Structure 1
Amino acid sequence: MNRFQFVADHQRRYGVKRLCAILGIARSSFYYWRRTAEDRAARQAADARLAARIRAVHRESDGTYGVPRSRRPPVWLLLLRPLHSRPTASAPRA
């Protein structure tokens, strides 16, 4: 359990202001943590999916690591493809 979760669990009884003061955290940090909980959960789920893909690719390659063992694209390239499909920044303005 982290400090923010502790504040969330006990805020009804003691209040956010008092708990944050005792724990030495800013209230704005607590509210930011609470507001971004959904993003963190999505990131953790994506990390879990990526870890499963890495394990599957490792199994398919008979546990080898390093230089590709066939003419297939390197494993790291296969794993990174979804990351390259993210939108990029717009062109700089003139």
Structure 2
Amino acid sequence: MLIALLLFGLLGLAAFGVFGFWTLFRLESDQKKAEANAEESLNALFDGTPDVTFSGGWRSMKYETVIVGAKKRGYKLAHQAGDPKRTFTLMFEKAPDAA
């Protein structure tokens, strides 16, 4: 009985470990896809509207990618909330001198 419980516990830990590694792999894969498609996504996001909000996280474009992309498209960061390494929300305004 004790051996069965021990074996069951070890199998549970192994399953938890496999799930954890799969989750980390999936998050990394999703972020790489988002970064690979960053130019298209940024062009769609910063389409000339006066105010833009972006919510990001582990599966989205990196914080730095969005900030630099906004600047290139004539937007300035107006407000931010959250942790850039976890989940965050960025609010941008179209710069008055940008065409």
Fold-level match, TM-score > 0.5? no
Instruction: Indicate the structure whose relative CO is greater, using CA pairs within 8 Å and at least 6 residues apart.
Output: 2
Question: If each structure's strand is expressed as a fraction of its own residues, which one has the higher value?
Answer: 2
Flag the structure with larger Rg.
1
| Superposition TM-score, scaled by structure 1 size | 0.28
From the two aligned structures, give the one with the greater helix fraction: 1
